[in-house]
Amino acid sequence: MLYHVTDWDDAYANAAHIPQSETFVPRWTAAAASFRDRHPPRPLGRGHLFRPQGTARGLMVFIHGGYWMRFDPSLWSHLAAGGLMRGWAVAVPAYTLAPQARIGQMVAEVAALIVEAAAQVDGPIALTGHSAGGHLAARMICPDILPDSVAARVTACVPISPLTDLRPLLRTAMAETLRLDAAEAAAQSPALLAPRPGIPVSTWVGGAERPEFIRHARLLANVWAGLGAATECVTDPGRHHFDVIEGLERADSPLVERLLTM
C-alpha cells in the first residue's frame, strides 16, 4: 500500500487520535507532584536532579517533549521512578521553548545541563527523551554537542517516539512558531547526521502511534545502522504517543531494562 501524507498537520496531531487525550496532562501533573513530594529534587538550572539514597549507579537523563513549544520538567517527575528505583540519579533538564528559542539553542541548553549533571554524578550516562525530547536525546550523541569526556560515559541512547528528520515539519503550521527553516531543519535532524561511534541506540515507539512517528523511529535506526552504529527499533504493541512513556515509571519494564542495562 502506498504511504502518502496529504494533511501534514494531522499527521503530527497526537491528541486528536488518542481516546480521552484531555485526561493525560492532569494525570501527569498529579503524578509528578506526588513523586516530588516523596522524592524532593535538587535544582538543575530550571530542571530537576533526583538522587537515590547512597551512591548513584550512574546518571539517567530524560528530556521532555511538547513539540519544543510546550511543557517543562515539573510535568514529568514521575518518569524518574524507574531509574531511581534502580539506584540511578535522574536528570530532567529544562530548555527554553519556541518561539523564544530556536531548536539549535535548545540543543545547546540541554547539552549544558547534562554536563552540569554529569559533574555531580559519576558513572555511566543513559540518555532518553520523548517526542521532541527524543529528538534532543538523539542530538546529544551527534559529534560536537557533548564534550568528549562526557560523551565517553554514554552507554545507551533510547529516543522514545522521536522526531528524527525535521524537514517534514516545514509543511506544518508549527514551523512558524518554531521559526524553522530549511537550513535549521537539515542542521538539527539526527537522521541527516552521524552518531558518535560506540553508543548503542534503541528507538522506541508505540505500535498505535501516528504513522509518522513510527516512520521517524524506524528511519533513525535504519540510517544510523548504515553509518555503523548498533541500533534497533522497538515497537511497543498497543501503545500510543501518550502512554508509551509509562514504562519509565517501573524499574523492571522492558523500556528501563533497555536503557539502564549495560
pLDDT tens per residue across span 194-209 = 999 999 999 999 999 9
Whether 7 is in a domain gets the answer: no
Whether 146 is in a domain gets the answer: yes
- Packing angle of the helix pair 132-140, 103-120 (nearest 10 deg): 60
Please report the pLDDT score of residue 259 as a whole number.
98
In the structure, what pLDDT confidence band is assigned to residue 24 with cuts at 50, 70 and 90?
very high
Whether 11 is in a domain gets the answer: no
What is the chain's mean pLDDT, rounded?
A: 98
Whether 39 is in a domain gets the answer: yes
User: Does the structure show a pLDDT above 80 at 262?
Assistant: no
**Closest-CA residue to 91 (of 148, 129, 140, 135):** 129
**Closest-CA residue to 194 (of 224, 218, 167, 159):** 224
Whether 4 is in a domain gets the answer: no
Q: Are strands 89-92 and 59-63 parallel, antiparallel or unpaired?
A: parallel
Say how far residue 139 (Cα) sits from the centre of its chain: 10
Domain extent for 188? 19-260
Please report the pLDDT score of residue 143 as a whole number.
97
What confidence tens digit (pLDDT) does each residue in 69-115 have? 999 999 999 999 999 999 999 999 999 999 999 999 999 999 999 99
| CB of 175 closer than 8 Å to CB of 144 | no
H-run or E-run covering 43: strand 42-44
User: Does the structure show a pLDDT above 90 at 224?
Assistant: yes
Please report the pLDDT score of residue 238 as a whole number.
98
What strands lie across the sheet with 89-92, from one edge to the other? 42-44, 47-50, 89-92, 59-63, 125-130, 154-160, 201-206, 231-236
Q: How many domains does the chain have?
A: 1
DSSP secondary structure string for all residues of 117-170: HHHHS-S-EEEEEETHHHHHHHHHTSTTTS-HHHHTTEEEEEEES-----GGGG
Whether 185 is in a domain gets the answer: yes
Strand, coil or helix: what is 104? helix
User: Does the structure show a pLDDT above 80 at 159?
Assistant: yes
How much is the average pLDDT of 219-230? 98
Rounded CA gap, 102 and 116, in Å?
A: 22
Whether 13 is in a domain gets the answer: no
User: Does the structure show a pLDDT above 80 at 233?
Assistant: yes
What confidence tens digit (pLDDT) does each residue in 121-133 have? 999 999 999 999 9
In the structure, what pLDDT confidence band is assigned to residue 19 with cuts at 50, 70 and 90?
very high
Whether 8 is in a domain gets the answer: no
Rounded CA gap, 185 and 180, in Å?
A: 6
Please report the pLDDT score of residue 214 as a whole number.
98
Kindly state the cell numbers that stand for 40: 524532593
In the structure, what pLDDT confidence band is assigned to residue 177 with cuts at 50, 70 and 90?
very high
CATH of the domain at 57: 3.40.50.1820
**Closest-CA residue to 163 (of 190, 126, 184):** 190
Please report the pLDDT score of residue 173 as a whole number.
98
